[in-house]
Chain A
Amino acid sequence: MNRNMNKGISTTVAIIGMIILLIIGSAAGYYAGISLTPSQQEYPEDSAWRTASITLSGSTTVLPIANASAIAFMNIYNTTTVTVQGGGSGVGYSNIIDGVVEVGMASREPTTTEINNAKAKSPAVDLWLHPIALDAVCVVVNPSVANSSHPLNLTLQEVGKIFAGNYTYWDEVQAGLPHHEIVVVVREPGSGTRGTFEEYAMKPWGYSVTTGATEQPGNPAVRSKVESTPYSIGYVGFGFLTENMHTVSLAKQAGEPYVYPTVTSIAGGKYPISRYLYLVTNGQPQSGSLADRFIDFLLSNEGQQIVEENGFLKLPYVYP
């Protein structure tokens, strides 16, 4: 009897506790929602896109740009909703093909399979790529391998050999490097960053990534792996470089100058591994639709400013 009463009381307590948690949770959500969209309506113009909502998904490289511009965009047009999700370039393309999102994000061109999948849909999906920024894939090593006073210079083919597993120890690559095993860090297959990297540093010589490489999901994961693992080498987008890793200077081939990735060297086409970042839509976005406005915003001075703030490069034809 007594036991039952106890049980009854504890159930009641549990239910009340959950209700309280729910209330606090929804209250917090309410305030979070408010702080994200302060009221600031500049152009009181009545059209459908102002109350519309779009979703972006895809490349983790483009993600920080899209996130920052979505917030900036919603700050100006506070009745719109722009939702941004990651997933990788593959997800970006497949979501556009399936019509799940309005805008995809990609850091590579579509593969043949993806183009065929798009054509096979009825009605056929027409993949439109909108370049929004310029990026470089930078090869990075843990500071235990090289640092600013002892910088590391490699040719693309040497980089390719390292990632193909042709070298086991660092001192096989270059004399003076430590006699320690190389830890190769790569992205998952299908990643745009990986695609671009392999296009420039591996495919020209028919190399393929060693099975001894550790795969990491996304640029931040590669970065933290390289930062925390002695004798490791990996590659990240230009916007993900930090002081805690050493960035390798690359040369197209032996005899050519080694180029350190900087805004000038990438925009000037000197740095050997560069690529465009894209937003992807199904066909040309309807003029006056929210997707159209959002892409225009990213191509505006303000949008390109955001691109730069996130560590990427403005489009060359916008670049002064």
Chain B
Amino acid sequence: MLRVRNSKKMLHFFKHFKKEPIEALLFLCAFFSIIVLFLMLFFTAKEGLQAFFTFGIDLIIGQTWKPSEGLFGAFPLIYGSIMVVSGALVIAIPWGVITAIFIAEVLPFSIRDIIKSIIELLASIPSIIYGFIGVLYIAPQVASLFGISFGTVALTASLVLAIMSVPTILGVSGEIISAVPKEYKEAALALGATKWQTIRNVVIPIAKSGILASIMLGFGRAIGETVAVLMVSGTVARIPTPPWNFLSPVYPLTAVIAMQMGEAAVGSREYSALFGLGLILFILTFIVNTLADIIVKREPKIRSGKK
């Protein structure tokens, strides 16, 4: 019974496509991207899980990453990724969010769009360019400012990643802030609140979850970045001493994979360990992006008071 009904439905489905070939094309495109996502997840998991079977929990908590010695402890690498990204967020969150508020609330309407699109151009610069700028200009500055012998350290990587994730944070939180209903702001102003009081007590609380989501998207952008990070992070697989020393080189996950995958023989232990790192990274970004998605989706309910 169910089968018949389903097949009738399917038939209807395809008949519909026959009438509307362009819709079939759209369907195929959408379907294809889903297939690609699942295939990527499947292959990363297939190779990556192998690493977890081989090395066990050591892959995550092991302290030494020395592929040539057969030591695959990725903790310094995971630590490097998280350190660099948190440094970047510490810089990028105030920068991005304050700029978003400034653009949406303070800037005159006439130049708002221009300024916004100029800043969003930052997002369209290829990451290798950020890498160049980081290596050639930011790293020497960091080195001479802090008196260290080379500037490709965690701080430099954080600075570069901060610049790269500002457009993401700015774009998303800007949208949310400008979507705060005008009536609320007008009500606050009519009650005698100053512009700053309105922003602090009305706009920010309403846009709060959207801003949080934008920060998570910024995190996702920063942790997945590879080329620029490879160029400026210093590529040393060791936890800095002391651990919060931003003036030591680190070796984030993405950089390790990019650097070592080319030389790893297919099927070797190193190869599967690198896929294991990929899986860790995949899971990290997947969780963060899903959280951001959930938070953004929750947002319209808050604004549903608007008629």
Contact = CB atoms under 8 A, between A and B. Distances in A.
B262 A87 contact: yes
A209 B66 CA distance: 8
Interface of A: 87-91, 93-94, 97-98, 111, 113-114, 117, 180-181, 183, 188-191, 194, 198, 208-209, 211-217, 225, 228-232
Kindly name the residue among B68, B69, B152, B265 whose own CB sees the greatest number of chain A CB atoms within 10 A: B265
B225 interface: no
B289 interface: no
B260 A190 contact: yes
B265 A188 contact: no
B76 interface: yes
Contact of A91 (B65, B235, B237, B262): B262
B20 interface: no
Nearest to A208: B69
Nearest to A90: B263
A304 to B, nearest CB: 28
23 contacts: A90-B262, A90-B263, A90-B264, A91-B262, A91-B263, A117-B267, A189-B260, A189-B270, A190-B67, A190-B263, A191-B263, A208-B66, A208-B69, A209-B66, A209-B68, A211-B236, A214-B152, A214-B234, A214-B235, A215-B259, A216-B235, A217-B259, A225-B150
B150 A211 contact: no
Kindly name the residue among A90, A194, A229 whose own CB sees the greatest number of chain B CB atoms within 10 A: A90
B238 interface: yes
Interface in B1-48: none
B265 A228 contact: no
B266 A215 contact: no
Contacts of B149: 180-181, 183, 229-232
B268 A113 contact: yes
Interface residues of B, number: 28
Contacts of B238: 211-212
Given A94-B266, A189-B270, A190-B270, A211 B68 contact: no
Interface in B211-251: 230, 234-238, 249, 251
B263 A98 contact: no
Contacts of A190: 67, 260, 262-265, 270
A190 B260 CA distance: 8
Kindly name the residue among B66, B152, B266 whose own CB sees the greatest number of chain A CB atoms within 10 A: B266
Interface string B134-161: 0000000000000001101000000000
B162 to A, nearest CB: 22
A110 to B, nearest CB: 9
Contact of A208 (B68, B76, B236, B266): B68
A179 to B, nearest CB: 13
B64 interface: yes
Interface in B157-186: none
Of all A-B residue pairs in the complex, the 5 with the closest CB atoms, nearest first, are A190-B263, A90-B263, A211-B238, A189-B67, A229-B150
Given A183-B150, A190-B270, A215-B251, A89 B263 contact: yes
Interface in B269-300: 270
Contacts of A232: 149-150
B66 A93 contact: no
Contacts of A231: 149
A194 to B, nearest CB: 8
B76 A94 contact: no
Contacts of A209: 66, 68
A225 B235 CA distance: 12
A318 B262 CA distance: 33
Contacts of B66: 208-209, 211
Given A117-B267, A181-B149, A189 B262 contact: no
A91 B266 CA distance: 10
Contacts of A94: 265-266
Contacts of A225: 150
Contacts of A97: 266
A183 B234 CA distance: 11
A138 B69 CA distance: 23
A224 to B, nearest CB: 9
A94 B271 CA distance: 12
Contact of A117 (B64, B251, B266): B266
A88 B67 CA distance: 16
A200 B150 CA distance: 28
Interface string B79-90: 000000000000
A89 B69 CA distance: 19
Given A111-B265, A113-B268, A214-B236, 18 more contacts: A88-B263, A90-B263, A94-B266, A188-B259, A189-B67, A189-B68, A191-B263, A194-B68, A198-B68, A208-B66, A212-B238, A214-B234, A214-B235, A215-B235, A215-B251, A217-B262, A225-B150, A231-B149
